[in-house]
Structure 1
Amino acid sequence: MANHLGVRIVSGDFGPGAALPIESELCEYYGVSRTTVREAVKSLAGKRLIEVSPKVGTRVLPFSEWNLLDRDVLAWRLQAQFDVKIVEDIFEMRLCFEPRASYLAARDGTAEDHALIDHHFVELAAAHEQRLPVKTISESALEFHLAVINASHNGLFVTIGSAVKSALRVSSEMLQRHAGPPSEDIALHDAVRTAIVGRRPKEAARAMENLLAAARERLLPLTVDAAE
């Protein structure tokens, strides 16, 4: 129920300031108990999509109030409208912290961190070379990026990486469906890996910038075509 209402809110079915149906109407519509309705409403309120007030009821909050880093909110936005703006937002955010995370991973990452990055790179390269399903390749790419972020040992970066996991997964899957030459994707990831493991922070940051820029250039035209 929370998922269904969440998608309707982020897609604009219920605009900012709009009131949600009253509790009894939601119970009847979804065929659930009052307890279930209250739990769903509580969940959405925790994500700052709605506000519950005894005087005015349950109303949708403005976009500026939403917790946009919440995993569910990101997933609902991507499900409702995978448009150019969302893709641009994702890559702008990634460019703000992933190159720096790569820098820190090269400088401060442990031998175990680097071994894990190596492991996920080998999995990604093998998935490409064996022409495994798109979902498998995208999951390998996702795990590689998360390993780099975790190796930064910056608690805020790690939290952000976990929060936007759903957005990274969706964009990664879309990229792999329209991927360029596998050798190019492997080379871009290998440049990041090699610089991190070689403890060359500045080179690692540049390599990650190059990887994200290439991904952005591939993905943005696809969302424009989809919108048209």
Structure 2
Amino acid sequence: MQKMAFNKARAKAKTIAALVSTLGLVSLSNHATAGLLVGHLTDKNAQSVSNAVLFATPLDTPTPPKKAGDTSIVAQENYAFSPYLTVVRSGSLVRFPNKDNHEHHLKSFSPAKTFELRVNSKKEEPAPILFDKTGEVALVCHFHDWMRGFIYVVDTPYFTKTDASGNAVINNLPAGKYEVKAWAPNMLGEPLAQTVQVLADGSSNVKFQFNFVPKAPPAPRNLSKGPATFGYD
């Protein structure tokens, strides 16, 4: 009986070891076939565009499932939205903490998400808002009319923003065919789109040129020592 039990235990250990080995090989294989998408975005004058969105949707591989509870933060800080542009996947929550001394009255009239939210820095932060539709969400403050910001909602986990040089990198993409799109704040119409074959190793490059010049983000303001500014100036 003892010998039989020992043999069963040894066989079980071999099975577990084989499974662990197989999973390790699968993990290494997935890592080995992860590609890199490098994008460069310019305006109509061939100048680099910062604060733009680049995102890729797989066409011949499954899209990874959404993660429950994904939360991003768009703060009101120095009387500006921080960050100016936020990219989230549909189904994500966004918090709106107020780091200024005065109250803000946030609004969005965008079809992707219409809401109105008063945020007082001296009171408890309001509950986060769910963004469940794709597209552009333009943010304004009713009390401080210069404040402008954007949330862009995509239905893919593969997204990023351009840096000051107009460059954007999406890594760990499974090899395959993707619909790659580019969007910038104040853009009219649909995002620019291309079909790109992402390689199993190395980088795949894509370039987009917008037919307009995006506006620069509003500069932060220091009103901490002055009276609150309401309405329009």
Q: TM-score, normalised by structure 1?
A: 0.22
Instruction: Report which of the two has the higher share of helix.
Output: 1
Q: Which of the pair has the greater relative contact order for Cα pairs under 8 Å at 6+ separation?
A: 2
Instruction: Report which of the two has the higher share of strand.
Output: 2
Q: Which has the larger radius of gyration?
A: 2
